[in-house]
Amino acid sequence: MNKLGSIIILFVFCMTTAKAEDGSRLWLRSEMPTDITLSIDSTMPDDDGYRISGKTITARTQMGLLYGKYALLRGEQGESHPYFKYRILNHWDNLDGTIERGYAGESIFWSLTPAPSPRERGDHINKYAEACASVGINGTVLNNVNASPKMLTPIYINKVKEIADILRPWGIRVYLSVNFGSPKALGEVKTADPLNPQVRKWWKKKTREIYKLIPDFGGFLVKANSEGQPGPFDYGRTHADGANMLADALKPYGGIVMWRSFVYGAKHQGEDRVKQAVSEFAELDGQFRDNVILQSKNGPLDFQPREPYAPIFDQMKKTPQMAELQITQEYLGQSKHLVYLAPMWEEFFGYVEPSRLVGIAGVANIGLDTNWCGHHFSQANWYAFGRLAWDPTLTSEQIAKEWLSQTFGNEKGKMKNEEISTVITSLLLRSHEACVNYMMPLGLHHIFKFDHHMGPEPDGFKADYPIEWCPVYYHRANKDSIGVDRSSTGTNATGQYREPYRSLYDNIKTCPEEYLLWFHRVPWTYRMESGLTLWDEIQRHYNRGVAEVDDFAYIWQQTKPCIDEQRWQEVDECLRFQQKDARLWRDTCLKYFGSFLSSE
């Protein structure tokens, strides 16, 4: 949308002031029709799907009827069934109330001493549950993958029961992240060796204790032997040994183990970090119990603004897999930038067939902030995750329009002017590519500031850090070239992909330019498809990203007559910050990379 188009739209906007809003109602502002007919049909598939005809909702289960009510609010007609069995939020919430990579306040579940009972936050947790159920989410992991052993002590298990009781009517099962070393850390067994009989007995007893209180408990999520977390390697055992021990404890109750493949630095020192998951897991394919699911991030590195898909989805053919997506914007402006993530996830599903997966998990962006997600538009990512978990064939545009009409429309879910919906939908759909352009275009990656990952630091290097944590490791720029050679002549990361992508990525001439510097080391003078040199193309992308954010801010100015004052003002402030930050990214990166050319 150009500025002239935006000005024209200004004249067709309504000029009335909307009533006060603070974002706390999310997309649940629409009025539910009162004349709905609900019908149970036992012949329908037993998967909580629904069928809508007019205002009649038919389903096999009560949950199907509930899902159907919210689908009717979205304007759906016809029959719909969930694609994935497991549609789970992962909360990286700590027991002290903080949230790792959380940008919307403290945990809705946990808090510092004196810790309130979850019942004291019952209304808030209930509202959370309704929001999740409205988009089909059916599970939630209540605590950080960097789990405290205290999570499995009686005081916290009893709190989990209270939360489970609130979530259950909404069809949401609870899961827990567990610290693999818990038996030893809690001083109840001298080891955490998964083949030790006493350790296996401990986990079976603990699991029985949980299910006695929470009969529909879902299972465990485990991060093991990565970033200092304990795991089976500590005892000379494999991931399969560790996962299977937990799976055996859960099996009698129908529980699952979600074993994360985000591992690096444990066994493969010096190996290209993006190869390490496949290196550790491929040889174990077929050795896991049938209630073990391997949970892998969408890309092979770490939730970067753009990554190629993770090749572990190609390699594990006998092991059930889940994709892990990051809803919270750790590397995408941390709820200060407007970045709609559905286009990135849609891109992922263009490479990884949903049929290869049994579910998807999303690292949640939810906290105690009044608007739940920090940025009003970050709510769209929570919504989009749920919708794609139900139906991964939905387009980013479909989901954006649904969310906008329910979030910024009137009580009946209607926008006051269709032009508003059109222009903001365009903004949403352009926002992810804009972020990639002003942060790390053309396959650049992981050039963030250390630890907190907010802002650029392409020159980042610390001698006391592992090199694979340093930004310079990921671009290796010098006066001649830039990028990482992951082709067959380099680290051969391309060899982990299935065809046709193995050959496509391996050849610099056929590698998509959006992944160019991810897979190839490229001279600054290399001619791009545009005819420009690589250096000129990099500059063009950075400038384009900044210009896009400027246009977003301009467009938002034009929406003021029809957006309630508080939400409009708060989004406007965030966009002003995003404009400054986009310039900081562009100017810092171009100055740094340009210094290699000027030094000749």
Distance CA 351, CA 369 (A): 35
Residues of the chain with pLDDT under 70: 1-19, 113-117, 119, 265-266, 412-413, 415-416, 599-600
Q: Among 130, 165, 302, 514, which one carries the catalytic annotation?
A: 302
Asked if 71 and 52 count as a contact pair (C-beta separation under 8 A), the reply is yes
Cα dist from 429 to 6, 305, 341, 434, 552, whole Å: 16, 15, 9, 10, 11
Q: Are residues 118 and 34 both part of a single domain?
A: no
**Helix intervals (H) in 370-417:** 379-390, 396-407
> Among all chains, which residue has been given the structure tokens 């079976």?
204
What is the structure's pLDDT at 421? 86
Contacts 24+ apart (CB under 8 A), 74-79: 74/402, 74/406, 74/413, 75/413, 76/52, 77/52, 77/53, 78/51, 78/52, 78/53, 79/49, 79/50, 79/51, 79/52
What is the structure's pLDDT at 19? 65
Cα dist from 413 to 221, 406, 562, whole Å: 37, 5, 14
Question: What sign does the CA torsion over 316, 84, 229, 269 have?
Answer: positive
C-alpha closest to that of 267 among 286, 255, 282, 252: 282
C-alpha closest to that of 195 among 239, 230, 231, 242: 242
Asked if 221 and 260 count as a contact pair (C-beta separation under 8 A), the reply is yes
Distance CA 90, CA 295 (A): 11
Among residues 58, 77, 96, the one where a domain terminates is 77
Q: Is the pTM of this model over 0.85?
A: yes
- Tokens at 418, concatenated: 């269709």
Q: Are residues 93 and 56 both part of a single domain?
A: no
Q: Are residues 330 and 455 both part of a single domain?
A: no
* Displacement of CA 69 from its chain's centroid (Å): 26
Q: Is 51 helix (H, G, I), strand (E, B) or coil?
A: strand
Asked if 55 and 37 count as a contact pair (C-beta separation under 8 A), the reply is yes
Which helix (H) or strand (E) segment holds residue 264: the answer is none
Q: Are residues 178 and 314 both part of a single domain?
A: yes
Asked if 162 and 119 count as a contact pair (C-beta separation under 8 A), the reply is yes
Q: Are residues 132 and 221 both part of a single domain?
A: yes
Q: Are residues 59 and 184 both part of a single domain?
A: no
* Displacement of CA 201 from its chain's centroid (Å): 35
Q: Are residues 66 and 201 both part of a single domain?
A: no
Which helix (H) or strand (E) segment holds residue 59: the answer is strand 56-59
Which helix (H) or strand (E) segment holds residue 362: the answer is strand 359-363
Instruction: Give the count of beta carbons closer than 10 Å to the beta carbon of residue 548.
Output: 19
Could you list the beta-strand ranges (E) of 137-205.
139-141, 173-177
* Displacement of CA 415 from its chain's centroid (Å): 28
In a domain? residue 356: yes
Domain interval for residue 429: 1-18+417-484+521-600
The tens digit of pLDDT for each residue in 534-556 reads: 999 999 999 999 999 999 999 99
Distance CA 350, CA 352 (A): 6
> Among all chains, which residue has been given the structure tokens 């896009």?
548
Q: Are residues 566 and 585 both part of a single domain?
A: yes
In a domain? residue 128: yes
Q: Among 162, 193, 330, 485, which one carries the catalytic annotation?
A: 330
DSSP letter string, 271-298: S-GGGHHHHHHGGGTT-S-TTEEEEEES
In a domain? residue 430: yes
Asked if 344 and 352 count as a contact pair (C-beta separation under 8 A), the reply is no
Please say if 330 is a catalytic residue.
yes
Q: Are residues 12 and 26 both part of a single domain?
A: no
Q: What angle do CA 165, 375, 584 make, to 5 degrees?
A: 140
Question: What sign does the CA torsion over 68, 69, 70, 73 have?
Answer: positive
Total number of residues shown for the chain: 600
- Tokens at 577, concatenated: 């910050």
What CATH number corresponds to the domain at position 152? 3.20.20.80
In a domain? residue 386: yes
Q: What is the DSSP letter of 22?
A: -
C-alpha closest to that of 323 among 282, 290, 358: 358
Q: Are residues 220 and 289 both part of a single domain?
A: yes
| Total domains present in the chain | 3
Q: Among 41, 96, 227, 353, which one carries the catalytic annotation?
A: 227
C-alpha closest to that of 379 among 399, 361, 363, 365: 365
> Among all chains, which residue has been given the structure tokens 């549950």?
129
Q: Are residues 271 and 138 both part of a single domain?
A: yes
In a domain? residue 506: no
Q: Which residues contact 116 (CB under 8 A, 6 or more apart)?
A: none
Among residues 409, 442, 461, the one where a domain terminates is 409
Q: Are residues 9 and 24 both part of a single domain?
A: no
Please say if 227 is a catalytic residue.
yes
